[in-house]
Amino acid sequence: MAWNVFLALIAYDFSYLAINSGRRLIQGIAGFFWLIFYPNTFYVLTDAKHFADWFDLSKLKSFSNLRTILDFNVLIFGIIFGVILGAWSIQLILHHFVKNNYLKAVLLFVISFLSSIGIFVGRSEALRLNSWDLVFHPWETLMLIIHSISASNMGFFLTFTFCQLALIALFYLAPHLGDWNRRGE
């Protein structure tokens, strides 16, 4: 989990560098690396598979074990933190570099879809690819990613795409919920 959160933090750091650098070259390089590391921010959602270990009824008594409680809380925190970093970083990038709202929506979908492919190749037992693989072995990794795209994986890609879009929308809209309630009064 710590490694996954670290990779998510790298994505956020690249988005921050991209929007705060005054030099176009640095912005482009940071934006490129942000895109490579961005899937790690939502990849942490797949760590929820470990919850199954805790919800086995025969093991439910393990919640009285302090170590299990700590592990559970670290897992929850890591998932929430990674998702927040992802939502913040894509909002930073899109807000800074894209002014047209229609184009923002299209790019948000495309980036979320590409991220879903990245999440799949990272979680797939057959591949277990990492962002670092794309940095250090770009051609081989790109070929493995392309070959992993198939109709049989489309359900995963679309499910994770819409999950990301829903979570990003939630983070974007949440600060405005109070405003909407006051308008109705």
Is 65 strand, coil or helix? Answer: coil
For the stretch 95-119, pLDDT in tens is 999 999 999 999 999 999 999 999 9
How many angstroms separate the CA atoms of 78 and 85, rounded?
10
Domain boundaries, the chain: 2-173
How many angstroms separate the CA atoms of 14 and 137, rounded?
20
For the stretch 123-162, pLDDT in tens is 998 899 999 999 999 999 999 999 999 999 999 999 999 9
State the DSSP string of 113-145: HHHHHHHHHHH-TTT---HHHHHHSHHHHHHHH
Of the pLDDT bands very low, low, confident and very high (cuts 50, 70, 90), residue 94 is: very high
Residue 79 has pLDDT above 90, yes or no: yes
- The two tokens of residue 90 are 């894509």
pLDDT score at 6: 95
pTM score: 0.87
| Top-confidence residue, 181 or 2 | 2
